[in-house]
Structure 1
């Protein structure tokens, strides 16, 4: 049975109109939620640590900024919009001591709650509002009068009005303009992690690199390998997003479609699916999160090495040069833009 899709008519901003909403963090999702909620006529404050670079940014955009602990004291609904691995420390130090019964704790992702990195006290409601898109898209779509679809969840034991609060928040950021679906912290977290690792980030990156290396190792020019294994991927993904797999196949040549049918399963096959099931098992049992927490606490040595190795790969050098020849490809200094919100 298809999931119910909630729209504007199912949500009421009056539910949180008289409440103070605190957003802890002012990064990708944080700044988008804050600005959209503010422009929806709601009372939003920002909680940050004193030396955060985001203090100046948030103030320049019209927000009252407080130390995290003070923001929690003042707020009725508190959303943690900081990276997963930073949440437990911030929660224990600044949030938990100031959480009173009747307040609502909100998240944009289910990891910290689902795996017990954060354990809210009784009497505090816990919700999730998770837009299915990056913060800059959540913001730009709202400005255009549109919205990004979102997921909501309510943790067992929360107050009866928690779902209404979650829907109101989703409406405030523009989510109900597109459609909102209710899920659970478990379902959102496990499917999100799996999608990132097996398909969207890990799977796609590994597939691109393997294709690039196969062609280069066979003696083809790296520029040709880049065009065929990375550059044109956007065209195919856009077609999938716009009209599904069948629509994509209809849009490409018959030769490409035939190759899809006979060669795709040779690359992604039973052994690939077996590996995906193992990845999902690691996520479901908490093994992935346990290892990620351990890596974070040890100072991210492997994580940093992966970043270094990836940046030094031939595909990055080739791509940087080729993208400079493509005026129609939007160039973005993503790392530089994100630094302004840290």
Structure 2
């Protein structure tokens, strides 16, 4: 859902006036590089910036936005002065959120399987065994806010061991509503005597961390499933800011998981076929990105196929949409391209509507949940996944893309 023009303009002006300058560039390939501590001056700017925007008009609907300006660093640290945040799991979200909360001066510990890959990664990032790094049961016992950021499948598998350790007075925190909403399939039923809250960043844990280090912040949804203390909502907002959110939007566990599963399945899956299909030879091959008909001299070369689809979409069109909106992108196109896009858009919408309707039904009735749990719980999960990814990587359009990407001005020329 997008801003109305007036509120979007107001927000842009507010952000432009107060946005901190980006910090040093962060290497995207290394978690350890992302583990460096944010400069104190940057932290003060990040949590202290005043934007003056509270209630915004989102396409005719008024919504309250909870901002980091409401939680300066001293207030944040005072609010959590008696708490220990126990981060359970050190995957993408666990990594990013725990490091951000640590840099914000909160008492954070990490709980993962001792000796595993996550344990080793956590040590590389500065977590100390016996001081800030523990196995999962010990971390839960030591923590007051239990941040369960294991994968959805792992949350289901480990719940019988974890549940008895979440005792009265603790807070149970999730970054996704999956386990709680689909409790009939996951068997994750929170204890009745604890606050249960959610902070769901709208991006990967790597993005959460990178934006934090740049002095920016990610959008996050916050929700309360169970409020025993009467302070669950305030706690959710504060934790949202602590883990790197610039601003937070209130939702429910149900709405978060439905929109998340629907959105990621409705957007991510179309990226490969929508860029490959125009150049597919027939319905049985994804390996030769060239037109079905026409003599050889009319068929584009692999480099041209990639440039006319993936490269144009990712390097030109998507950035314009993200920064200025869809109408701006159309206005930036040539008159011929714009006319064709506007004429064909309704046809694509009509063709795809039945697919999206089936998708939403599959999300709502739990079919997507059961499929995810079944696949991600397999002992051969990683091998099965890699096989699927290798099939994509071996498609001609993506093999051609490796060479095209290496030719970009900012590319590492050693990749050629």
The question of a shared fold, defined as TM-score above 0.5 by the shorter chain, is answered with yes
* 2: CA distance, partners of 1:158 / 1:183: 18
Match status 1:206 vs 2:206: no
Highest relative contact order (Cα 8 Å, sep 6+), 1 or 2?
A: 1
Residues 144-190 of structure 1, C-alpha deviations (whole Å, 9 max, x = no match)? 22211111111035431111111111111231xx3210111111111
Does the aligned pair in 1 maintain the 2:110–2:133 contact within 8 Å? yes
Residues 223-262 of structure 1, C-alpha deviations (whole Å, 9 max, x = no match)? 1111111111112111001111111111222221111111
1:1-342 alignment to 2 at 5 Å? 1-11=61-71, 12-13=75-76, 14-63=78-127, 64-93=132-161, 95-116=162-183, 117=186, 118-175=188-245, 178-199=246-267, 201-213=268-280, 216-218=290-292, 219-234=299-314, 235-266=316-347, 268-298=348-378, 299-300=380-381, 303-329=385-411
TM-score under structure 2 length normalisation: 0.74
* 1: CA distance, partners of 2:349 / 2:125: 50
* 1: CA distance, partners of 2:403 / 2:218: 33
Deviation at 1:194, TM superposition (A): 1.0
RMSD over aligned Cα atoms = 2.1
Deviation at 1:69, TM superposition (A): 0.5
Residues 73-103 of structure 1, C-alpha deviations (whole Å, 9 max, x = no match)? 000001122221111122322x212110111
Does the aligned pair in 2 maintain the 1:16–1:165 contact within 8 Å? no
* 1: CA distance, partners of 2:340 / 2:412: 30
Does the aligned pair in 2 maintain the 1:212–1:226 contact within 8 Å? no
Residues 3-51 of structure 1, C-alpha deviations (whole Å, 9 max, x = no match)? 2101124445233222000111222211111111111110000001012
Structure 2: any 5+ residue segments left out of the alignment?
Answer: 1-60, 282-288, 293-298
Structure 1: any 5+ residue segments left out of the alignment?
Answer: 334-342
Rg larger for: 2
* 2: CA distance, partners of 1:251 / 1:330: 29
Deviation at 1:65, TM superposition (A): 0.5
TM-score under structure 1 length normalisation: 0.89
User: Relative to 1, partners in 2 of residues 1:306 and 1:62: Cα closer, same or farther, differing over 3 Å?
Assistant: closer
* 1: CA distance, partners of 2:412 / 2:365: 40
User: Relative to 1, partners in 2 of residues 1:295 and 1:133: Cα closer, same or farther, differing over 3 Å?
Assistant: closer
More off after superposition, 47-56 vs 304-313 = 304-313
Moved over 6 A (4+): none
* 2: CA distance, partners of 1:255 / 1:330: 35
Secondary structure of 2:63's partner? Answer: coil
Secondary structure of 1:129's partner? Answer: strand
